[in-house]
Amino acid sequence: MGNNYGIDNHKIFAANDKGRDFFLGDLHGCIQLLNKILKKINFNFEKDRLFCTGDTIDRGDASVECLKLSRNEWFFSVLGNHEAMLLESKDNPYKKEVWFRNGGLWWAETNEYERVQLEDIILSEFSISLSVETAMGNVGVIHSGYPFHEWPTLDKVELDKAQLKNILWDREILKESQIIFTKGVSLIISGHTPTKTPVLLGNHLFIDTGCGHYPHEKLQKPRLTLCEIASSTNLIFHEVDSKSYNVTGLLV
Ligand SMILES: [Mn+2]
């Protein structure tokens, strides 16, 4: 079962009995902030794993490098609307123009060989959603919305256009503060909509704190957030921008 993109709908990861698991908000080409945060948490590249909410590319200055992260054994990402725009732009000049206006201009500077490689990374490494067994139980990752009531339904369905649109582009949950408890999963972690701090609604946690965005009135301190599941009830957020590193906690 699948989707228009031809990538896996859902990937399942068993518990990491060697090391730790971390969840990363939208990265948007900011490799330096990622390197900084990995240093702060003393990330072990042999044992630890990192799961990203998607949008590894666009806005920051290292989209190619960030997309190539998925070749590593320790880095996994779900598809974001920005990777989807990359795939959809291939045969569609209109979509390419929209994407280029939204951070995709770096693509114009890549060569044909690189383009094939980069597309192949998305097609072979990314999935629409993923599940990880953690100290908090089953934790799901998906870019934005989740159009079903139970997790994970995605491995059993052919996703239609409307469902994919919801998964990649939904802003209603945060805009309307929708409290939804999805069954079959302890926590769903998403990005997509920048917020000042991580936001938990029902069992849906949003951790895009604006990495790659310019500061503006509603988002004065854009930064990269990494979520660590410290115990069955305790989340720790590691947050970096170019100047600071901050740690906060949340009991769930
Ligand atoms: Mn994003």
pLDDT one-digit tens code per residue, 59-116: 999 999 999 999 999 999 999 999 999 999 999 999 999 999 999 999 999 999 999 9
Q: Are 191 and 53 in contact (CB under 8 A)?
A: yes
pLDDT level of residue 1 (50, 70, 90 thresholds): low
pLDDT band for position 180 (cuts 50, 70, 90): very high
Residue 1 domain-assigned?
Answer: no
Task: Kindly state the tokens that stand for 217.
Answer: 């009135």
- Give the model confidence (pLDDT) of 135-174 as tens digits: 999 999 999 999 999 999 888 889 999 999 999 999 999 9
CA of 161 to the centre of ligand 1 (A): 20
Task: Report the CATH number at residue 152.
Answer: 3.60.21.10
- pTM of the complete model: 0.97
Q: Which two tokens stand for residue 230?
A: 């410290």
Assigned domain for 54 exists? yes
> Looking at the domain assignment, is residue 2 inside a domain?
no
CA distance 42 to 35: 10
Contacts of 165 (CB under 8 A, 6+ apart): none
Cis bond leading into 215, ω under 30°? no
53 closest CA partner among 180, 208, 231: 208
What distance in angstroms lies between residue 160's CA and the mean position of ligand 1's atoms? 22
Chain centroid to CA 160:
21
Question: What domain range is 122 assigned to?
Answer: 8-251
Distance from residue 77's CA to the centre of ligand 1 (Å):
13
Taking the centre of ligand 1 as the mean of its atom positions, its distance from the CA of residue 28, in whole angstroms, is 7
C-alpha 17 to ligand 1 mean position (Å): 31
* Number of domains the chain contains: 1
Residue 167: inside a domain: yes
Q: Is residue 3 part of a domain?
A: no
Distance between CA 252 and CA 232 in Å, rounded? 8
Amino acid identity of 99?
W
* Residue spans of alpha helices (H) in the chain: 31-40, 63-68, 81-89, 93-101, 112-125, 161-169, 172-175
191 Cα to the center of ligand 1, angstroms:
7
Q: How far is the CA of 137 from the centre of ligand 1 (A)?
A: 26
- The answer to the question of residue 87 being in a domain is yes
Does residue 239 belong to any structural domain of this protein? yes
176: exposed, middle or buried (Cβ count in 10 Å: 0-12, 13-18, 19+):
exposed
Spell out which residues have Cβ within 5 A of ligand 1, the ion.
26, 55
pLDDT at 209: 98
Q: What percent of the chain is predicted at pLDDT more than 70?
A: 100
124 CA → ligand 1 middle, Å: 21
Residue 34 CA to ligand 1 center (angstroms) comes to 15
Can you give the pLDDT at residue 156?
86
Which residue, 157, 225, 227, 238, is CA-closest to 186?
227
**Ligand 1 center from residue 110 Cα (angstroms):** 21
Neighbouring-strand partners of residue 232: none
State the distance from the centre of ligand 1 to the C-alpha of 47, rounded, in angstroms.
27
